[in-house]
A = this chain, B = another copy of it.
Amino acid sequence: MSEPVHSIHPSARIGANCRIGWYAVIHEDVVLGDGTEIGDHAVIGPGTRLGAGVKVGPGSVVGKQPSSNARIKRKPAALSPLQVGDGTAIGANVVLYAGSEIGEDVFIADHASIRENARVGSRTVIGRAATVELNTTIGSRVVVQTGAYITGDMTIEDDVFIGPRVSTSNDKYMGKRPYAYQGAIIRKGAAIGNNATLLPGIEIGEEAVIGGGAVVSKSVPAGQIWIGNPARPLKPSSQEKKGE
């Protein structure tokens, strides 16, 4: 087969030994490190910087500027370009915004999206179809499993485990009254179970464990296990035995 047809803006700087797929689009001022691989139909937005060995899957949009119209409250300001660290792998049909920083050796699975002004630490996994909203900080070695929803204005410290389909929110009054958006704060080493729900502004303490399907409306002290709707501490006698 002939060399792939694609579009590379003349101002882009392409490292050594890069592979660029069919119909990919590399916009102005993009910088690709050595050995990067860009999949078929991927779009790399203006100014985006991808480190050495970064892989971008087919159909992904990397370094997108936020859109807006008459309906959007928080107008996007001019954003700095997206930066992605060495060795990070990005799946297919992913959407990543400008204005964010992704660390080294991060894994971002298919259909995931990460908004602007987010920070993702090194060696973290963002699962398939997981969504991370704006202004959120995620530490290193975090696992965010498939389909989890990480709201805006949220903090997730290092070594946290977010189970599949966990849901969070940051607006206590659901648009009815003014409120300073505040998502949950999840401390180091905590683990949140499958499809659990975290209400706005709560804190999950270090190494705390939230059971699958729990609905957490209050802050949870470090090291405790909470389950149920509304979530309550598991009885001490049971805490030895259980951990799911």
Q: Which residues of A contact B (CB under 8 A)?
A: 1, 4-5, 7, 9-10, 21-23, 25, 28, 39-41, 43, 55, 57-59, 61, 64, 67-72, 87-89, 91-93, 95, 105-107, 110-111, 113, 123-125, 128-129, 131, 133, 143, 145-147, 149, 151, 161, 163-165, 167-169, 172-177, 191, 193-195, 197, 199-200, 209, 211-215, 217, 227-230, 243-244
Check B164 against A191 for contact (C-beta < 8 Å): no
In angstroms, Cα B95 to Cα A24, docked, is: 18
Please give, as numbers and ranges, the residues of chain B lying within 8 Å of A22 by CB-CB distance: 7, 23, 25, 43
Check A174 against B209 for contact (C-beta < 8 Å): yes
Check A212 against B131 for contact (C-beta < 8 Å): no
Task: Determine the main DSSP class of A at the interface with B.
Answer: loop
Checking B25, B40, B67, B88 against A40 with a beta-carbon cut-off of 8 angstroms, the contacting residue is B25
The smallest beta-carbon distance between A24 and chain B, in angstroms, is 9
The smallest beta-carbon distance between A138 and chain B, in angstroms, is 13
- Please state the number of chain copies in the assembly: 3
Check B149 against A105 for contact (C-beta < 8 Å): no
A217-B244 CB under 8 A given contacts A70-B105, A71-B107: yes
Check A7 against B7 for contact (C-beta < 8 Å): no
The smallest beta-carbon distance between A113 and chain B, in angstroms, is 5
Which 3 pairs, one residue from A and one from B, show the smallest C-beta to C-beta distance?
A213-B215, A169-B194, A197-B213
Checking B58, B168, B230 against A194 with a beta-carbon cut-off of 8 angstroms, the contacting residue is B168
Q: In the complex, given contacts A69-B106, A161-B176, what are 13 additional A-B residue pairs having Cβ atoms less than 8 angstroms apart?
A: A22-B43, A58-B61, A67-B89, A71-B123, A110-B113, A111-B111, A113-B129, A146-B151, A164-B169, A168-B194, A173-B243, A195-B195, A214-B215
